Each structure stands twice: as C-alpha cells, then as structure tokens.
Amino acid sequence: MRAAAFAILLVTMVAAAPVARAAEDGAPAAAPAPEPQPATPAPPSATDNAPPSVVRPPKQFPKLRQASLLHKYQLGIGMMPGVGYRGIFPYAAANDQMINCGQQGKRVCTGMVPFFLDVQPSFGFAEHWDVLIDIRYGIGTDFTTSHQFAVAPGVRYWVDPDQSVKFYATIQGVFDATAQHNELVRNTDFGVRNSNGFMFEVMRNLGFYIQFGETLGFVRWLRFEIDGGVGVQARIP
C-alpha cells in the first residue's frame, strides 16, 4: 500500500518538475489554443450589388407603310393618243338626197377614226368613283377635212381602287362639235360613251393605262365607234 502511494507521488513530482523549472527560468507558459470562431462573411462589393446583365434583342424599325393608291380627293390629268374604227348610218334627207358619210354613193360608211388625243381632267370624290371629262382633239383630218373636237363628261368606277393594277369602267355623255361643211348634216352631235381599261400604278401620283371605248352617236346620224389607246395619268396631291 505504501509502495503504491510512493509510486504515485513520484510520478506527480516528475510531471510537475518541467513546469516548476520553467517558472523558475521566467519563461511564460504556453497559452491554451484559441477556440475556433465562426467565419465572418466578407462585406458585399459594388459588383455584388450590380443587377444581372440583360440581353436586349436587336432594335427593329417598323416597316414603312405603303402609300395609298386610292384616288379619293386627288386631282388627275391624263393624256391618251389613240385611233379607232366606226360605222355611220345617215338618216334620209328631207328631199331623199344621198348624204355623204365619207364614201360616195354608199348608204352605210365604215372606216378608220382619224388619230386623236384625249385630254382627261378627273377628280376622285369617293373611294371607287371619279368624276371626269374627256376632251378629244383630232390630230388627223376626217373626210370632212375637219379635225374632230368632242367633249365627254361622266364618271368612272374603279373595281379594285387600292391595288397597283386596277380595272375601271366609265359611263359618259358625248357632245361632238366637229364641223361637217355640209348643209345637210348638223355640226353638232350627241351620244353616249363607255370606256374600259386597266390602270398600272407606278406610284401614288403616276399611272399608265390601256383603254378601249365605245361611242354611240344618234343626232347627226347613227354612229357606232370603237377606239383604243395607251395613256398616262398624273395626280395631286
């Protein structure tokens, strides 16, 4: 028992000897290891506060709107050279004289309509409708040695007014003032006319057209006439 107690005392003294010696030498004892501290988050930087980058789509410009091809409220002026063919059926004179209609000794005369130029002012008063007046000047001389002069006011209807290629038809009255140089024949004539054609729009203010027309005159004599030509029309605004 005493031997065991003595052994314990001896071990204690051996363990305490280095500490006592260090104290005697003035050396500080080793500090205990610090306890681990929780990690402190780093302060946010300026880049951390920046909004995420946004990928913008490429800028797109709106498509240009095509100019309207309607003739509504437009003032137009057209010019069309042309030629035609006709048949004339004279009425019997009071004394049953033969009336010269261009071919001597014939009761019915047929032949070409001399080369002419139609000048046509017009105004679009509705989406499908124009009011117009054809003024015809004869370039070539007729069998009467006169140059034709006629005026044909009326209206025109556009089937597809907003298309670049559009069909139209007209209905017109006709006043013909071509001098006849014949006392048996009136210098004035009245009739009706229809023309049909296609307009090719180059732009809002310019178009080209192909036209065919029919005229019926009934005062001077009975006259059937067909004609055609190619024209150009300018419009404002």
pLDDT tens-digit map of 12-61: 565 555 544 544 555 444 555 556 665 565 565 555 565 666 777 787 76
Smallest CA-to-CA distance from 189 within 199, 179, 202 is with 179
**Higher model confidence: residue 52 or residue 119?**
119
**Higher model confidence: residue 231 or residue 26?**
231
Q: Which amino acid is at 56?
A: R
**pLDDT of 27:** 46
| pLDDT tens, residue by residue, 60-103 | 767 666 678 999 999 999 999 999 999 999 997 766 678 889 88
Contact 168, 140 (CB under 8 A): no
Q: Please report which confidence band the pLDDT of residue 133 belongs to, taking 50, 70 and 90 as the band edges.
A: very high
Kindly tell me if the per-residue pLDDT of 150 is higher than 80: yes
Domains in the chain (CATH in brackets) are 75-236 (2.40.160.20)
Q: Which amino acid is at 191?
A: G
Mark residue 228 as left, alpha or beta (left: phi above 0; alpha: psi -120 to 50; beta: remaining). beta
Mark residue 73 as left, alpha or beta (left: phi above 0; alpha: psi -120 to 50; beta: remaining). left
